[in-house]
Structure 1
Amino acid sequence: MNANELTIADARDALARGELSAVDLTMACLTAIDAGTPLNAFVHATPEIALDQARAADARRCAGAGALNGIPLGIKDLFCTRGVASQAASNILRGFKPEYESTVTSKLFEAGAVMLGKLNMDEFAMGSSNETSCYGDAVNPWKVDDRRLTPGGSSGGSAAAVAADLCLAATGTDTGGSIRQPAAFTGIVGIKPTYGRVSRWGIVAFASSLDQAGPMTKSVRDAAILLGAMAGHDPKDSTSADIPVPDFEAALTGDIRGRKIGIPREYRMEGMPAEIEALWARGREMLADAGAEIVDISLPHTKYALPAYYVIAPAEASSNLARYDGVRYGHRARLGQGDGIVDMYEKTRAEGFGKEVQRRVMIGTYVLSAGFYDAYYNRARKVRALIKRDFDEAFAAGVDAILTPATPSSAFGLGEMADADPVAMYLNDVFTVTVNLAGLPGISVPVGLDAKGLPLGLQLIGRPWDEAGLLNHAHVLERAAGFVEKPRKWW
């Protein structure tokens, strides 16, 4: 096994035993990144920074190093990194290099992590297939025919990089499923923490009441290790919760006897592929075999989740993206003679934003406008409160976690849905958006392959602030499923 194929936990142990240096580990990843160019996962490589950090990690090893000392990671392009391009995969931020570090990357560096570079994503995290990026499509390392498949979105570059062993793990963000859906499409683990568990400071905003950063890893144990380093209170983020961060790795006892797992009847969607239904049934059996009690539950407002999400998220996006006007930073359009300030705004935003971002800004501006605020935005906020109440009632009735499919299908081909009805693309989020609307933690775990040989995942949804319990349930599911398949290297 090459060093870049190790999990965080195995690499940590090898580093501690002196069998491997951080420089060796980093060089293995940098070599894999060079070979992985066809995947278009890394869009800003930072080999000099990586090797400097790796050498520092090796020098620190004997002096009580951090939990991630010497571990090479990929960073989604949404996280601001000091002096390194951070453009949210958008032309409007071309050339932007922040003078500050996001709280998450600061915490990772404090824990000793090595940054290999910035990862591809959908523009401003708006997309489910990584086809809206100014860098071009990221490509799924799984390949079963002549097609290039999507790695999912918006954290598609992160998912592809982890699945292809270009890095040991990566950061992602999740506004409506953007960690969990790509994790399911690429056969890796992705967790969206409770809203407020991880600081949003220094992360380019999409929808501020929904966005949450989290880890994308090769195993549940790695997710626990990385989340422990990312989480914690941040006074710079007014939505950051001042709640102690437990030892998530220590919580992986593998014992869920007597725990109650809810199966929501509303997630049995009409037209659900038989393979997804069978996988879900298998997941129920595996958790029952581990001693959990499986109970049917109802989340009656689930059917309203997608429409509510696609009112609230664009509304917040239209507000957040108003700052990109060509005045202070980023792209500025060339102006003709006689053009005024309004012309500059219009031309800059038309040139800088891609079609999907423009679509969502237009929708968001429409639903916030005076004549439609009550009809759309206010109503969506009320629906959101009802969706949260559904989950609250399920947990109050003693449910410890909820098991659902992660996605309505396996990965589809790049270009197959991009030019179709955008609503068809939005349906990829059908199982994931409720978790963001309710602010809950959710995790996608790879459980099997479909008939074509592509990975499929199941989602577990946890109680608020109970990432420790959620990770333990996921650990049991992962162990029972025994998913060890990797994509065949074609790149």
Structure 2
Amino acid sequence: MKKHILLILVILLSACKSEQESKKVEVILWIPYNDSIEVAANNNHENGRMQYKLIQSKVLDKNEVFAPLYDEVSKLTESEYQKLIPLVLEQDIFTIRNHIKEDRLTYENLVLFYLYRIYKYELNNATTLNTVIALNKDVVEQARELDKQNQMGVATQIQHPIFGMPILLKDNINTLGMKTTAGSIALMDNEVDDSFIVQQLKKNGALILGKVNLSEWAYFLCSGCPVGYSAYGGQTLNPYGRRIFETGGSSSGSGTAVSANYAVAAVGTETSGSILSPSSQNSVVGLKPTIGLLSRSGIVPISSTLDTPGPMTKNVKDNAILLSAMLGYDKLDSASVEDNYPGILSAGIHPKVFSEIKLGAIKDLMETDSIYKETVQNLKEAGATIIEFTPPEVSMDGFLSILNIDMRNDLKTYLKEYANPDVIKVTSIEDAVAFNNADSLVRIPYGQALFEGILTDSTTTIELEQIKNNLEKNGRSFFDAAINAYNLDAVISINNYHAGYAAVAKYPALTVPMGYKPSGEPISLTFIGKQFSEASLLQIGKAYEEKFPNRIIPSDYQN
């Protein structure tokens, strides 16, 4: 690799255990560094959650992640990489597919392009985002196989648009050939088969590039701790300002990786804000679907009531493509719906006419956020009908108990059904708490207050059902009061500001880059609609994105 990109030491070790044993070559691509200066520099950060205790992982050796594909990546020269930049960087899926169709690009070079960027930035301690924590060692060969199929004339018109596109997955999504850790040392050897949505992606031809970091246990472990931190993967950093801006959580790696162009797209998961938050913080498009639209089988859970995976992409078009590639009825998920709700795939390329769009703007946000206020005015001038309203005050009492009791039960079920008991010794929250306490400095440097809260929550089954029913009703009334009264297509919010209400309502939410604060921190506009209105939200989001193309690639990750 290039001297200015990587520090590479090739050490030849002569093995002498037997005459048959040949020389072993170990490629050292990365050397752990002392992050104490960086940690100290954040001691006085105005955001208490960004006063870090550490940045790099104490357990993950990046050499184990990156060495297996080093020979493949090193074959791509810097000049060849530079020639690929205009073909791939920030390009949407249909554009990339067209380059492949017209022989300007191959699937192999597409994969190598993203791998090159990952190696270039993630192995440099001055630019690493601590985002990629696993790679599919077979991905280059899988791409070559797709190129062979292309040469043999496999009909492209029968392919899903996701075919051949390299995708990264949040590391709580079960994936064959890569461990699924949820960011926890307790699951660092968790080898599993593909989750349902990964099966769907592979069936549609997607290439699984690797796994990305997350807020440990989907940010349901510690209280007041940094988002984007996991004991397994370390502290994920924001490409728009490393150690300056939060990454958002818990799908932190998915947001940062897409923003830095480490893959065509990524999959995140959300219980309440975990797709919307990192998408907004990293200026990418994120969709939290209606509960049940996508399967949750084979995903490390918080709550079977509220959890859902969802697509995170650089644009609305790709978001619709990735969402549609994961659709399908899953008999193992009690919330799964049999209807795939047609129109999702085409929604990303068919923007709704502004004159036909009716949106509800929240008065409080109009008064407190100038970027939101300006955006509302721009939408009006573009022809959209905007109704300003004040949502009703509704109780969110009991929300934490849903997470507590569901995770107590759902994690136990996941570990029983997916984890290998010979390797994974934790079988419950109680076990996980005890495991963490055995080495608290390494395993829980920020504590585990939320895990401990799970153990002390005494909510009964009957009480929990009442809480769920009340919150679903309250969440829906928060939005429906205006949606029903004015026949609105959606309510518009900021980032993940109203994610909790959308979560308990089980409503979908789409967030699209809205601009940047004076500090340079990204901010996004979030569209929230009724159940299974994903196609409509995508059409509205596409119209907004097309008229107001706000996303700007992070300045330090443009080359």
- TM-score normalised to structure 2 length: 0.74
Contact preservation (8 Å) 2:93, 2:161: no
Range 4-13 or range 466-475, more displaced: 4-13
Tell me which of 337, 342, 355 is aligned to 1:246. 342
Deviation per CA, 1:363-386, whole angstroms, max 9, x where unpaired? 23333346x985x88456523422
Range 147-156 or range 168-177, more displaced: 147-156
Deviation per CA, 1:251-279, whole angstroms, max 9, x where unpaired? 323413233211234656xxx8x5xx112
Q: 2:184: which partner in 1?
A: 90
Q: 1:385: which partner in 2?
A: 473
Contact preservation (8 Å) 2:213, 2:230: no
Letter of the 1:105 partner, please give it. V
Q: 2:435: which partner in 1?
A: 348
Tell me which of 347, 351, 356 is aligned to 1:258. 356
Give how far 1:310 is off.
2.8
Letter of the 2:473 partner, please give it. A
Give how far 1:52 is off.
2.5
Cα 1:482–1:327 change in 2 (3 A) is closer
SS at match of 1:368: coil
Give how far 1:18 is off.
2.1
Give how far 1:393 is off.
4.0
Give how far 1:225 is off.
1.0
Deviation per CA, 1:19-56, whole angstroms, max 9, x where unpaired? 1110010000111111121111110112x321122122
Give how far 1:137 is off.
0.7
Which runs of no fewer than 5 residues in structure 1 stay unpaired? 334-340, 408-429
CA distance in structure 2 between the partners assigned to 1:473 and 1:344 by the alignment: 46
Kindly indicate whether residue 556 of structure 2 is the aligned counterpart of residue 489 of structure 1: yes
Q: 2:112: which partner in 1?
A: 27
Contact preservation (8 Å) 1:80, 1:86: yes
Q: 1:410: which partner in 2?
A: none
Give how far 1:192 is off.
0.6
Kindly indicate whether residue 559 of structure 2 is the aligned counterpart of residue 470 of structure 1: no
Deviation per CA, 1:83-106, whole angstroms, max 9, x where unpaired? 3211111111111110x2111111
Of structures 1 and 2, the one with the larger relative CO (CA 8 A, separation 6+) is 1
Give how far 1:179 is off.
0.8
CA distance in structure 2 between the partners assigned to 1:311 and 1:345 by the alignment: 19
Deviation per CA, 1:340-384, whole angstroms, max 9, x where unpaired? x999776335348747783223323333346x985x884565234
Letter of the 2:301 partner, please give it. A
Kindly indicate whether residue 206 of structure 2 is the aligned counterpart of residue 108 of structure 1: no
CA distance in structure 1 between the partners assigned to 2:194 and 2:458 by the alignment: 32
SS at match of 1:36: helix
CA distance in structure 2 between the partners assigned to 1:225 and 1:234 by the alignment: 19
Q: Give 1:165-184 correspondences, 5 Å limit.
A: 165-184=261-280
Contact preservation (8 Å) 2:107, 2:147: yes
Tell me which of 145, 168, 172 is aligned to 1:74. 168
CA distance in structure 1 between the partners assigned to 2:206 and 2:430 by the alignment: 45
Letter of the 1:470 partner, please give it. L
Q: 1:406: which partner in 2?
A: 495
Cα 1:257–1:351 change in 2 (3 A) is farther
Give how far 1:68 is off.
1.2
Kindly indicate whether residue 521 of structure 2 is the aligned counterpart of residue 454 of structure 1: yes
SS at match of 2:535: helix
Deviation per CA, 1:60-91, whole angstroms, max 9, x where unpaired? 33323332121111111111011321111111
Cα 1:454–1:329 change in 2 (3 A) is farther
Give how far 1:174 is off.
1.0
Letter of the 2:177 partner, please give it. G
Cα 1:385–1:329 change in 2 (3 A) is farther
Range 476-485 or range 457-466, more displaced: 476-485
Contact preservation (8 Å) 2:284, 2:551: no
Q: 1:235: which partner in 2?
A: 331
Q: 1:418: which partner in 2?
A: none
Contact preservation (8 Å) 1:12, 1:68: no
Pairwise CA RMSD: 2.9
Amino-acid identity (%): 27
CA distance in structure 2 between the partners assigned to 1:3 and 1:78 by the alignment: 31
CA distance in structure 1 between the partners assigned to 2:168 and 2:87 by the alignment: 16
Q: 1:412: which partner in 2?
A: none
Contact preservation (8 Å) 2:247, 2:256: yes
Contact preservation (8 Å) 2:341, 2:532: no
Cα 1:357–1:170 change in 2 (3 A) is farther
Tell me which of 471, 482, 498 is aligned to 1:394. 482
Contact preservation (8 Å) 2:286, 2:319: yes
Q: 1:286: which partner in 2?
A: 378
Range 48-57 or range 193-202, more displaced: 48-57
Contact preservation (8 Å) 2:166, 2:206: yes
CA distance in structure 2 between the partners assigned to 1:124 and 1:344 by the alignment: 14
Contact preservation (8 Å) 1:191, 1:444: yes
- Which structure has the larger Rg over C-alpha atoms? 2
Q: Give 1:8-407 correspondences, 5 Å limit.
A: 8-37=93-122, 38-46=128-136, 48-61=137-150, 62-64=153-155, 65-98=159-192, 100-126=193-219, 129-143=227-241, 147-251=243-347, 252-265=350-363, 274=368, 277-301=369-393, 304-305=395-396, 308-322=398-412, 328=421, 330-332=423-425, 347-348=434-435, 350-351=437-438, 354=444, 358-369=448-459, 374=463, 378-379=466-467, 381-397=469-485, 398-407=487-496
Cα 1:431–1:379 change in 2 (3 A) is same
SS at match of 2:520: coil
Count of residues in correspondence between the two structures? 448
- TM-score normalised to structure 1 length: 0.83
Cα 1:329–1:439 change in 2 (3 A) is farther
Contact preservation (8 Å) 1:92, 1:351: no
Letter of the 2:194 partner, please give it. E
